[in-house]
Amino acid sequence: MLTLTLSMLLGLLALSVTAAATVGLLGLTLAEFHSPLSLANAMGELAWGTSAEFLLVAIPLYVLMGELLVSSGVAGRMYGAVSKWVSWLPGGLLNANIGASALFSATSGSSVATAATISTLALPEQKKGGYHAPLFLGSIAAGGTLGILLPPSINMIVYALIANVSVPKLYLAATLPGLLLTGLFMGLIVGICLRRPSLAGQRPSVSWSERIGVLPDLLPPLAIFVLVIGVIYGGIATASESAALGVVAAMLLCLWNGALSWEMLGRAFEATLRTTGMIILITLAAFFLNFVLSSIGLTTRLVSSVSALDLPPLGMMLAIILFYIILGCFMDTLAMLVTTAPLTVPIVVSLGYDPVWFGVMLIVLCEMGQLTPPFGMNLFVVHSVRGEGRFMDVVVGVLPFLAVLLLMIVLLLAVPQLALWLPGWMSK
Amino acid sequence: QLPATHLRVVGGGSHNYTFSAVEQPFWRDTLPGASGGRVTAELVGLSESGLKGPEVVRLLRAEALDVAMGVFAFVSGDDAGFEGVDLPGMAPDIETAHKMVRAYRPVLAARMRERHGVRLLATVPYTAQVFFCREPVTRLEDLKGRKVRTRGRNMSDFVSALGASPVTIAFAEVIPALQTGVVDCAVSGIGSGNAAKWYDVAKHLYNLPTDWSIGFYAMSEARWRELEPAVQQFLQAQAQVLENRLWDETARENAYALACNTGQGECRIHTPADMQARTPEGADREAVRAVAAKVAAAWGERCGQECKAAWNGSAGKALGVTLP
Amino acid sequence: MLERVARGGAWIGGLGLLAASWLIVIDLLARKVLGLSLGGADEIAGYVLAVSSAWAFPITLLRRSHIRVDVVYTHMAPKARVVLDCFALICLGVFVGTLTYHAWHVLAESIAFRSVSNTPLQIPQWIPQSLWFAGYAFFLLTVVVLGACALARVTAGRWQAVGALIGIHSVEEEIVAETQSAGTPIDTSPAAPGAAARPQR
Ligand code: NA
Ligand code: NA
């Protein structure tokens, strides 16, 4: 039955059937043929219960907040300021791409939004500065993936709901790995540019007074970050409430900058609802599939047969990681997360791993998925904003960053405390 | 010999002590053992099945579930009458709670069968639902103005009537919320709170049982009718076994839980912690009784004349309380 | 027509989300600053999400933003792609049809049992659920009408035109949508904000 399930899942996806419909129809088929109960009757209640879940309210609010921030022009000024601050490093603006991505990530829950925003801001500078195209493109695509690792993060909200773990805990757990990964990306750029100065492009010369002058431009995104994330740990708000605060603050910023108009709101609303519709439809299909899988006993059977394999936990974990790396080549990462996490989380927990740690690991695997061809959302985004040249430029450009992500996975495996230390320390 | 029957069971939250101590062994060993291997069952926890709780009765009726456990406070949106089994502040100890539930059981069973198309198999208690707080609570007065995590309508009403502000947040979010002060207190089972390690972030226990989170095991009435009479009889008898064990084991858990949370005295089931505990006494107990009566009267109004009369004639009689 | 209703739905959904944000923030401020508990903002925000996401599905479909994996798709001949597009739409239709049918049951039961929310607000469930169900019903209608339009184009032999209707968003289109909605203040953006480079019907 497991083989049938997996082959139907992959088959329908390969036939380019809408992911949500694939997941939903798979659930209906299994319910029809593998259970004497009328499991399909649970579909309506599950859809209502899932889509009225307060935790998920954070998703459209994060998207709306990002849309409003970009419209207000805050993001553009932020990129300019970051580039003035880090451009003295070998690699110049390449570092700015990573730094600005990290900073934008702090106000955005999605990698695609981060990559699209930074590409639009950064790409015009690539030719001007004479940067090696692949490396420049790669730095944007890779930097964009920080969007889901550094809090806030849509993927983490969805994972928290599936794995029944706390969102603030997950955010804390991802913070150190997120900062470390930012550092590793920058270290990689500096390392490459020191060995091959021809790739590095010219470093813009910036005076200190200029740097001080642009500092105010960094304030709005930092303020939003402090507001959205700070209030959670300051004991003021839950994750969803903090997202609402972010939306209100972003709206006030737009008003302040004179960017608020009905036309702009209409665009922001439509973009927000497009993304929300996509995420919620697939999430509620996945919840239905999850109910069916557990009702027909497949989850229990899978967990017990995996335990019966008697692999050492590390071996099993490596197999799971490999599975996700391969799947990530072909699937959108959010779809991958919601369709597989209900199956892998019980296994991982039965192996004795912490579900919070596994959440961080899964997010890093999602980041890889966004960068691996043939289906890598961030590759597509950067290539299209560029609007010229070969797709392979982007692919070649992300290869070194993929190696860094692999290193990150090894580090997380070797030192689980990387993720677990901060949440543990905060609870002292 | 009984005809071969297989049941798919959605049990309670698998993080609860009684899930592994009673529910698992019952469905895995007791039931097949007593039937000579003819009646078997497969058990999953509520959250593993992706359900949230309020939909359980509807899913039973729709035959999307065979046998399932639910908590009355969660399913009462479809029927306020369910709340009568566990009115807040009415039962200061588990013996009283048991008396109240036993008296109300026939009313419940009839209501579930006639209005909802489900068959009540067993009632399920949890440990006393008490306050886990960040700051000391020495008197009832101290709860005033605190933000308290509750679940369900009646408990919120009770907590508001005590002068606190009820807040609803998910179980998984309670620890960070207590840690950071998003809430000042959280109500949960005195045993379940220990099992979830709330003592790490809440150092003060106010041992005022708000209610007992009474729940049920039930089966879809349509599925029940498909069973042969011999199986029905067998299940009915075994459900009583399950119910008795659940009450006995919960009473045991409840008896040790205070000692576990404070780390003083005999702690046999949970983990010893170092909480400071206070139990309401004297005037505070009187005040609780007055608040409980007020909340119960408001419930009676919501539930309607017939429902109130049924309660007065059963649970009310057992407790010596009459709703106006 | 469909487009208009879907856009209207998006507007209402967006305004709803914005209003829900303000409500949550006001509730938060009242709690933190004034020590008042209004309560219920979380519950209402949940309903807003349920209703606005139901009304978001049609616009997501019209903008062809529901996720489809194009690994095989991109290597197909144009006519084969149309076949895949139609197959995908049929699968979506079956799924959405079933979902809408069961959503109706949820609403019908809430009406029959006069269900109220299990919170101090005691909101009659039929109010948010009927708005939610209407979103699903409109989504189903969108799928059916799109299918009919696609069929009409196929029978008229206009194969290319089908892709613009129900095909997979090419990456170029996707990014135009991203950056436009972002309205990034950069002179390289391909078109003035609002100028729809999206396929129009
Ligand atoms: Na982020
Ligand atoms: Na990929």
Task: Enter the tokens of residue C42.
Answer: 């979380």
Which residues hold their Cβ within 5 A of ligand 2, which is an ion? Answer: A 328-329, 369, 372, 375-376
Closest-CA distance, B231 to chain C, in angstroms, reads: 31
Ligand at minimal distance from the CA of A331 is 2
Amino acid at B25: P
Global ipTM: 0.89
**Which of 36-65 (C) contact A at CB < 8 A?**
42-43, 45-50, 52-61, 63, 65
Asked whether B178 and B186 are in contact (CB, 8 A), the reply is: yes
* Contact residues, chain B, for C43 at CB < 8 Å: 168
pLDDT at residue A391, rounded to an integer: 77
pLDDT at residue A354, rounded to an integer: 94
Task: Enter the tokens of residue B151.
Answer: 């679940």
- Please give the residue of chain C at the shortest CA–CA distance from B164: C37
Is C49 in Cβ contact with A51 (below 8 Å)? Answer: yes
- Please give the residue of chain A at the shortest CA–CA distance from C48: A52
Is B79 in Cβ contact with C113 (below 8 Å)? Answer: yes
As a residue count, chain B comes to 324
Coil, strand or helix at B42: strand
Task: Enter the tokens of residue A60.
Answer: 């459209």
Return the number of other C-beta atoms located less than 10 Å from residue B281's C-beta. Answer: 10
- pLDDT per residue as tens digits for the range C37-71: 677 888 999 999 999 999 999 998 988 878 777 76
Asked whether B66 and B9 are in contact (CB, 8 A), the reply is: yes
* Degrees to nearest 5, angle at CA B219 with B218 and B220: 130
A11 lies within 8 A of chain C by CB: no
Q: How far is the CA of A326 from the centre of ligand 2 (A)?
A: 8
Q: How far, in Å, CA of C52 to CA of C33, rounded? A: 30
B154 lies within 8 A of chain C by CB: no
Return the number of other C-beta atoms located less than 10 Å from residue A314's C-beta. Answer: 11
Question: How many contacts does B have with C, using Cβ atoms within 8 A?
Answer: 40
Is the whole-model pTM more than 0.90? no
Amino acid at B201: V
Q: How far, in Å, CA of B261 to CA of B251, rounded? A: 16
Return the number of other C-beta atoms located less than 10 Å from residue C92's C-beta. Answer: 28
Task: Enter the tokens of residue C153.
Answer: 């184009």
Highest-pLDDT range among A303-312, A332-341, A411-420, B174-183: A411-420
Q: What is the mean pLDDT of chain A?
A: 86
Task: Enter the tokens of residue C177.
Answer: 């949508």
- Is the model's pLDDT at A304 over the cut of 80? no
Return the number of other C-beta atoms located less than 10 Å from residue C105's C-beta. Answer: 16
Amino acid at A45: E
- Counting as contact any 3 or more CB pairs under 8 A, the partners of A are B, C
pLDDT interval class at C193 (50, 70, 90): very low
pLDDT interval class at A340 (50, 70, 90): confident
Q: How far, in Å, CA of C47 to CA of C53, rounded? A: 10
Q: How far is the CA of A401 from the centre of ligand 2 (A)?
A: 14
pLDDT interval class at C197 (50, 70, 90): very low
Burial class (CB in 10 A: 0-12, 13-18, 19+), C130: middle
pLDDT at residue A257, rounded to an integer: 83
- pLDDT per residue as tens digits for the range B123-167: 999 999 999 999 999 999 999 989 999 988 889 999 999 999 888
Q: How far, in Å, CA of A245 to CA of A45, rounded? A: 30
Closest-CA distance, A113 to chain C, in angstroms, reads: 8
**Which of 112-171 (B) contact A at CB < 8 A?**
169-170
DSSP string, A40-100: GGGHHHHHHHHHT-GGGGHHHHHHHHHHHHHHTTHHHHHHHHHHHHHTTSTTTHHHHHHHH
Q: How far, in Å, CA of A380 to CA of A377, rounded? A: 5
Closest CA to A91 of A194, A245, A214: A194
The H-or-E segment that residue B5 falls in is strand B5-10
Closest CA to A64 of A101, A103, A108, A105: A108
- Please give the residue of chain B at the shortest CA–CA distance from C111: B78
Asked whether B148 and B185 are in contact (CB, 8 A), the reply is: yes
Low-confidence winner among A49-58, A204-213, C132-141 (lowest mean pLDDT): A204-213
Is C37 in Cβ contact with B165 (below 8 Å)? Answer: yes
- Please give the residue of chain B at the shortest CA–CA distance from C42: B168
Burial class (CB in 10 A: 0-12, 13-18, 19+), B283: exposed
* Contact residues, chain C, for A278 at CB < 8 Å: 60, 65-67
pLDDT at residue A392, rounded to an integer: 82
Amino acid at C158: R
Which site among B143, B146, B168, B295 would you substitute to test the C interface, given the most C Cβ atoms closer than 10 Å to its Cβ?
Answer: B168
A199 pairs with which residues across the strands?
none
Q: How far, in Å, CA of A371 to CA of A137, rounded? A: 12
Task: Enter the tokens of residue C15.
Answer: 């305004």
**Percentage of chain C exceeding pLDDT 90:** 47
Q: How far, in Å, CA of C80 to CA of C78, rounded? A: 5
Is B78 in Cβ contact with C109 (below 8 Å)? Answer: yes
Asked whether A409 and A364 are in contact (CB, 8 A), the reply is: yes
Asked whether A17 and C68 are in contact (CB, 8 A), the reply is: yes
| pLDDT average, residue stretch C173-197 | 41
- Counting as contact any 3 or more CB pairs under 8 A, the partners of C are A, B
Q: Report the residue from C32, C102, C180 with minimal CB separation from A236.
A: C32
pLDDT interval class at A357 (50, 70, 90): very high
Low-confidence winner among A97-111, B81-95, B266-280 (lowest mean pLDDT): A97-111
Q: How far is the CA of B167 from the centre of ligand 1 (A)?
A: 27
Low-confidence winner among A314-328, B261-275, C91-105, C151-165 (lowest mean pLDDT): C151-165
What separation in angstroms does the CA of B280 have from each of A271, B88, B258?
55, 15, 14
Asked whether A95 and A89 are in contact (CB, 8 A), the reply is: yes
- Is the model's pLDDT at A380 over the cut of 80? no
Q: What is the mean pLDDT of chain C?
A: 81
* Contact residues, chain C, for B71 at CB < 8 Å: none
Q: How far is the CA of A228 from the centre of ligand 1 (A)?
A: 11
Q: Report the residue from C37, C116, C120 with minimal CB separation from B77.
A: C116
- Is the model's pLDDT at C195 over the cut of 50? no
- Is the model's pLDDT at C186 over the cut of 60? no
Closest CA to A177 of A353, A427, A405, A425: A405
Task: Enter the tokens of residue A418.
Answer: 């990387």
pLDDT interval class at C198 (50, 70, 90): very low
- Is the model's pLDDT at C169 over the cut of 60? yes
Return the number of other C-beta atoms located less than 10 Å from residue A183's C-beta. Answer: 12
* Contact residues, chain B, for A300 at CB < 8 Å: 42, 44
B322 lies within 8 A of chain C by CB: no
Closest CA to A283 of A341, A240, A329: A341
A320 Cβ partners below 8 Å, 6+ apart?
Answer: A344, A347, A348
* Domain layout of chain C by residue ranges: 2-176
| pLDDT average, residue stretch B210-221 | 95
